[in-house]
Chain A
Amino acid sequence: MEQINPRSRRDAYGKKINRDHSPALVYGVPCVTIMLGSLFPLLPVIAPAPIMPPMGLMVLLAWRLLRPGLLPLWVGFPFGLFDDLFSGQPLGSGIMLFSLALIALDLLELRLPWRNFWQNWLTGAVVLTVYLLLAAIVSGADFRLAHFGLLLPQLLLAILLFPIISSLIVLLDRGRLMRVRRIG
């Protein structure tokens, strides 16, 4: 078989014989990237107004849309808690909003199981919009209706960045599923 086609026993994720996925990579890569997203406030950007998109949530959404069964549904609790530690929001807002976002995605998926690029983008945009609005309301800041205009630059940036982050996650997903573990 090899003489006819040298790549016959390989696929995009490497050799198929004697090799398997590494659990550390399979589950570690999503967790680490989501947590790195939550560490974005430690980037040296001292912002006078909210401008940075909520990276932790965006990476979580991208993984969730790409691999729905990969992370359990309750994962909003640990990642939301981690996000709250650095985001400046009162503790609990991330836990609540991340969990609600995951439940909403799940319910949406029951109704619209088929997906494509535009639908993913639209889903991400809607979730991000609702998240940013709710996060501003529960942030404890003195937030009036007139201030919602302040969220627009951040929202626009988040929506524009979402497909880019999604495709980045697709790249990471290929690395994640490389068969690096040797069996036997």
Chain B
Amino acid sequence: MAPPKAHRSGSNKRAQMGLFAGYVLAGASAAIGAVLLGISLWSPQTFQGLRAMALDLASPAGQAGAATRVQSRSLFEAIAGYYDAGSRNAELSREMAIARVRLAEAEALRQENQRLKAALDLIEGEELGQVAVARLIGSSSSSSRRFAFISAGSRDGVRPGMPVTSPMGLIGRVVETGSSTARILLLTDSGSMIPVRRATDNVVAFAEGRADGSLRIRLINLGINPLEEGDVFVTSGAGGIFRPGIAVAMVTEVTEDGAIAQLLSNPAATDVVIVEPIWQRPAIEAAERELSAQSSVD
């Protein structure tokens, strides 16, 4: 291919000036970009209005895509199903047999639980409401940050800070809201850190996002590492925001000071998410109860 003529300004003064102005403008826009980058790294919320507006405008495309995602996924699953139907069948019937036993055990446990609760005269914990139900319409799939976009915004009552869950567990929390969309920080973002505890006992830890889609569990009490593969972590409710008891992750690899855990609710396999209110009221109430109990003791 012949060399392009764009650079041959020759002795034409005007063309030379145009070429020069092009470089100056390009250099200036790179410099402006660097300044804006500095500002947005220093205070990440500076340009959130701009981003939220753009996302609101572009979200119809995302919503249409989210609807087709559910359909196309089931299509791929149906095709994949033909390949390993036989082994899958045997495996499933074996699992089914085990599951029946487990179901019976669970039923027994449920009855026992009911009986004990009745004996203790416990009231069922107040169910926390949901703010909105939304679809995941996209994610920052080409960036090193892990954000996702959902199809509910301030018009539906979504506010920054609210936890976002799926039926399988915690997904993340809202960081920015537009009027009909919101941006959520996924648990796997390296800027995300949530207080968790082991589901079976009270080993408390922090779950910190790693960029590769897993979580690092950092124990708060250092010492002998009590974690084992397969341990499930749930939110502890410490510090508010996330209500206690939402499933978060399962340990897959034990390290010296904690563990590496995989998310239980993989956002990639989720299409409908629930935005929950910020959990703090019960904590305040509990604190008040304690205070009043203390004052009555005094």
Contact = CB atoms under 8 A, between A and B. Distances in A.
B6 A88 contact: no
Contact of B142 (A40, A68, A92, A140): A40
Residue of B3, B50, B142, B213 most packed against chain A (CB within 10 A): B142
Interface residues of B, number: 65
Interface stretch (A16-24, A25-33, A41-49, A171-179): A41-49
A54 B29 CA distance: 20
Interface of B: 1, 3-7, 22-23, 25-30, 32-41, 44, 46-47, 50-51, 54-55, 58-59, 61-62, 65-66, 68-69, 136-149, 188-191, 211-213, 263, 266-268, 270
B30 A76 contact: yes
A147 B212 contact: yes
A99 B22 CA distance: 11
Contacts of A72: 22, 25
A12 B268 CA distance: 45
B142 A44 contact: no
Interface in A103-155: 103, 106, 109-110, 113-116, 135-136, 138-143, 147, 150-151, 154
Contacts of A154: 142
Contacts of A6: none
A156 interface: no
A95 B138 contact: no
A106 to B, nearest CB: 8
A142 B145 contact: no
A44 B54 CA distance: 17
A29 B279 CA distance: 49
B213 A89 contact: no
Nearest to B22: A73
18 contacts: A42-B149, A43-B62, A44-B137, A46-B138, A48-B266, A48-B267, A73-B22, A73-B23, A74-B25, A80-B29, A88-B146, A90-B37, A99-B33, A103-B27, A113-B4, A140-B191, A142-B191, A150-B211
B30 A143 contact: no
A56 B66 CA distance: 21
Contacts of B138: 41-46, 86
Interface residues of A, number: 63
A85 B51 contact: yes
Contact of B212 (A49, A69, A73, A136): A49
A168 interface: no
A180 interface: no
A163 interface: no
Given A39-B58, A48-B263, 20 more contacts: A41-B149, A42-B58, A42-B61, A43-B138, A45-B139, A46-B139, A74-B28, A74-B29, A76-B26, A76-B29, A77-B29, A77-B32, A86-B54, A92-B34, A95-B37, A96-B30, A98-B33, A113-B4, A115-B1, A142-B211
A52 interface: yes
B5 A86 contact: no
Nearest to B18: A72
A54 B144 CA distance: 11
A135 B143 contact: yes
Contacts of A60: none
- 8 closest pairs, A vs B, by CB? A88-B140, A92-B36, A96-B33, A95-B33, A48-B213, A92-B37, A113-B3, A44-B69
Contacts of A42: 58-59, 61-62, 65, 137-138, 149
A84 to B, nearest CB: 8
Contacts of B36: 91-92, 95-96
Residue of A91, A135, A136, A147 most packed against chain B (CB within 10 A): A91
Contacts of B190: 141-143
Nearest to A100: B30
Contacts of A139: 143-145
Nearest to A87: B143
Residue of B51, B190, B211 most packed against chain A (CB within 10 A): B211
A44 B65 contact: yes
Nearest to A56: B142
B141 A92 contact: no
Contacts of B30: 76, 95-96, 99-100, 103
Contacts of B47: 91
